[in-house]
Amino acid sequence: MATIGDICVSASINLLSALAFLLAFGILRLQPFNDRVYFPKWYLKGIRGSPTGSNAVKKFVNLDFATYIRFLNWMPAALHIQEPELIDHAGLDSTVYIRIYLLGVKIFAPITLLAFMVLVPVNWFGKTLEAPGAKDLTFSSIDKISISNIPFGSDRFWAHIVMSYVFSSWTCYSLYKEYGIIAEMRLRFLAAERRRPDQFTVLVRNVPTDPDESVSEHIEHFFCVNHPDHYLMHQVVYNANKLASIAAKKKKLINWHVYYQNKYERNPSKRPTIRTGFLGFLGNKVDAIDHYTAIIDNLSKQEAQERENIINNPTAVIPAAFVSFKTRWAAAVCAQTQQTSNPTIWLTEWAPEPRDVFWENLAIPYFDLNMRRLLMTVSLFFLTFCFMIPIALVQSLANIEAIEKVLPFLKPIIEKSSIKSVIQGFLPGLALKIFLIMLPKILMTMSKMEGFTSLSGLDRRSASKYYLFVLVNVFLGSVITGTAFQQLQQFISQPSTEFTKTVGSTIPMKATFFITYIMIDGWAGIAAEILRLSPLITFHMKNTFLVKTEQDRQNAMDPGSLEFATSEPRIQLYFMLGHVYAPVTPFLLPFIVVFFAFAYMIFRHQIINVYAQQYESGGAFWPDVHGRVVMGLIISQILLMGLLTTRGTDKSTLVLIAQPILTFWFHRYCKGRFESAFVKFPLEEAMVKDTLERAVEPNLNLRIYLQDAYVHPVFKGDDFEKPAIIDDEEGNPLIQTTRASRQDSRPESDSETGSC
């Protein structure tokens, strides 16, 4: 077991590497030619432009050495900006996200203090480990201040039980307050928001087919009948998945075209050539620029044809639509109510904001959706518990003998001892490493197959999947040796209490491991985040080979964004570690607190200067975050119960069993109290906004405002040829939005949009 000394060595290594990252960042960020890597957000906002000074060197390197001395001055700058400004600048999602770290500090700073004041003395004077009669256990100073130092069946355990209740109460109190604050922030944010298309719009799915009417007509008639005073217009959704993929392919090829063009311009003596075969290695040599020009032309034709297809083919319209109403009140009503007696058709939900729509999933029928959920749940189970099986298979195939068999010509090379040892040491780990890198993508693909319709929903869903994986394979996997599948077998074949006992009693022994983990993954990992090594390299590569215009340079920036789906579950691991170790090994807590505080600062800097948010969901993920913190808390309470029963305090179970029940009840209460603020749009708020708007802008033409709001992104942009049927009403911009004036006119059956 590691001693304090070992921990100190590890801590200093990790601190040094974290400092090195920070130093590197401090220097790199001051160089003007890195400006777009470290401050992309300001460029995207149009506040910052490329340096235009006359001195060519100054354009690239910062020679003002005075600034280097203050290389850490980004820290106070990051903390200086106030929250309302932050919401305005970075959006509510980002602001709420960094509050998770702040919550960590809020919860664990007092717990750490209390644990060091109460539990450390109690443990220290337990003196089991130092007792002359103690079995020859190897122990370290950390164990002396942990629960391991308390004698079997001692009454001192009551201190831990009481403190466990205190910690849980404090956590619940903090969570409750935070939930209230976030809900308040969200409501204020929604109330203060300027007019947005999604406030008036409802996403309608599973429109039933009607033999006599087109989808568009059917939708129009249905809402004219059932929301007669409120219906304004609708926008049908085209199945543009193929078109989108052609457009994406074309964009990639254009990049290559530009690359070869640039190459040729720099060296006009020789036209660049490529091979057309496998990965550019085989096949005929052709002129690269001509080749790409030809392919791009071809794709452009295909694209135009597909565009034509979509517009003229009625089957390209999928049975879903964005239906807009005259008021926010009516949209809120439609989104929250059931339309017909068959709850599987005419499904209405509050529309995601246009950037947030995941277009591919809008057409999935109800039954398929259920089937997909089932399949994905089963897959997730197997992925979580059995992912080691295929990897072990790949590993066994990827050994030297197998390679020699398949590719015998490599034999003489492989047999060399130096290469052999590299392969043997490297290959088995490789499959696992690749899997872990791919995992978020796999989980995201699974979430996409489940049929969510918004990017934010996909992110949230992937995050829960990832959390399960982290919980089972990182946390439990580290505590109990063996794969998740073996754990599962163990869990099934033992009495249910035995499992918690096994895990609980192993917990104190793993403290040093987790301390090291926190320092490597938490401290150094977060410091590496701010360095942005991969975007830095990518940007300079692109800048060298592809960028010609200012616009290109803009596009070459990769601001990145908060990867909610992967980073949030990892924060949750720290919450859980904190809760699990708070009553057991308080020594771990300061490391957690430092992690949260440090990460808060780093990410605050990142959302201010770097990340560009892909969408704005208004902090809709908070209920998930809250739920997972509570779940971690409950797990920690159960494990403590398991641990204490192995320490001769069987009666303690009776006292501790109420804790998870009360915590679960607390979760339910919070859910009822706050969750709907994240799911529904209350009518009162809608009415207030409507009334205000009517007073301020009585002549607003909402129809024009909403006209193109929910058009598939491939139809947008410079080369946007709007579908003909949308054009129909373009010439008539002053369509009145009151019902009375149009009551006589029949709705035009060929019109895409129109009130009734």
Q: Can you give the binding site for its own copies, defined by CB under 8 A? A: 183, 187, 225-227, 229, 332-333, 336-341, 343-344, 366-367, 370, 374, 378, 492-498, 661, 665, 668-669, 672-677, 680-685, 687
Instruction: Give residue 91's region: left, alpha or beta (phi > 0; psi -120 to 50).
Output: left
**Cβ distance to its own copies smaller for residue 139 or 366:** 366
Cα distance between residue 344 and residue 332, in whole Å: 20
Write out the two tokens for 287.
């002129």
Write out the two tokens for 604.
């605050």
* Residue 283, number of CB atoms within 10 A of its CB: 12
Question: Shortest Cβ distance from residue 744 to its own copies (Å)?
Answer: 19
Using DSSP bridges, classify how beta strands 231-238 and 317-325 pair: parallel, antiparallel or unpaired.
antiparallel
**Cβ distance to its own copies smaller for residue 169 or 336:** 336
Write out the two tokens for 373.
């959920």
Question: Shortest Cβ distance from residue 349 to its own copies (Å)?
Answer: 13
Question: Shortest Cβ distance from residue 468 to its own copies (Å)?
Answer: 17
Residue among 560, 717, 714, 718 at smallest CA distance from 248: 714
Question: Shortest Cβ distance from residue 671 to its own copies (Å)?
Answer: 10
523 secondary structure, DSSP code: I
Question: Shortest Cβ distance from residue 661 to its own copies (Å)?
Answer: 7
**Cβ distance to its own copies smaller for residue 231 or 564:** 231
Question: Shortest Cβ distance from residue 691 to its own copies (Å)?
Answer: 9
Write out the two tokens for 497.
């209490």
Residue among 532, 539, 607 at smallest CA distance from 42: 607
* Residue 285, number of CB atoms within 10 A of its CB: 10
Question: Shortest Cβ distance from residue 668 to its own copies (Å)?
Answer: 7
**Cβ distance to its own copies smaller for residue 338 or 534:** 338
**Cβ distance to its own copies smaller for residue 188 or 251:** 188
**Cβ distance to its own copies smaller for residue 6 or 693:** 693
In a 3-state reduction of DSSP, which class is residue 274?
strand
User: Is the CB of residue 642 less than 8 Å from the CB of residue 504?
Assistant: yes
**Cβ distance to its own copies smaller for residue 217 or 675:** 675
User: Is the CB of residue 321 less than 8 Å from the CB of residue 202?
Assistant: no
Write out the two tokens for 347.
């499904």
**Cβ distance to its own copies smaller for residue 340 or 736:** 340
Write out the two tokens for 312.
């003229």
Question: Shortest Cβ distance from residue 419 to its own copies (Å)?
Answer: 43
CA atoms within 13 A on the CB side of 169: 7
Please calculate the CA angle 136-636-446 and round it to the nearest 5 degrees.
Answer: 120
In a 3-state reduction of DSSP, which class is residue 406?
helix
Cα distance between residue 324 and residue 659, in whole Å: 48
**Cβ distance to its own copies smaller for residue 284 or 370:** 370
**Cβ distance to its own copies smaller for residue 188 or 271:** 188
Question: Shortest Cβ distance from residue 377 to its own copies (Å)?
Answer: 8
Write out the two tokens for 231.
């219906």
Question: Shortest Cβ distance from residue 614 to its own copies (Å)?
Answer: 27
* Residue 561, number of CB atoms within 10 A of its CB: 17
**Cβ distance to its own copies smaller for residue 54 or 341:** 341
User: Is the CB of residue 472 less than 8 Å from the CB of residue 386?
Assistant: no
Residue 285 pairs with which residues in a beta bridge?
275
With a CB cutoff of 8 Å and minimum separation 6, the contacts of 596 are 101, 102, 104, 105, 108, 574
φ/ψ of 320, rounded to 5, equals -150, 155
**Cβ distance to its own copies smaller for residue 78 or 635:** 635
Question: Shortest Cβ distance from residue 739 to its own copies (Å)?
Answer: 12
Question: Shortest Cβ distance from residue 234 to its own copies (Å)?
Answer: 17
From edge to edge, which strands make up the β-sheet containing 347-350?
Answer: 231-238, 317-325, 201-205, 347-350
Question: Shortest Cβ distance from residue 198 to its own copies (Å)?
Answer: 17
Cα distance between residue 138 and residue 3, in whole Å: 10
**Burial classification of residue 155, based on how many CB atoms lie within 10 Å of its CB (0-12 exposed, 13-18 middle, 19 or more buried):** exposed
**Cβ distance to its own copies smaller for residue 354 or 504:** 504
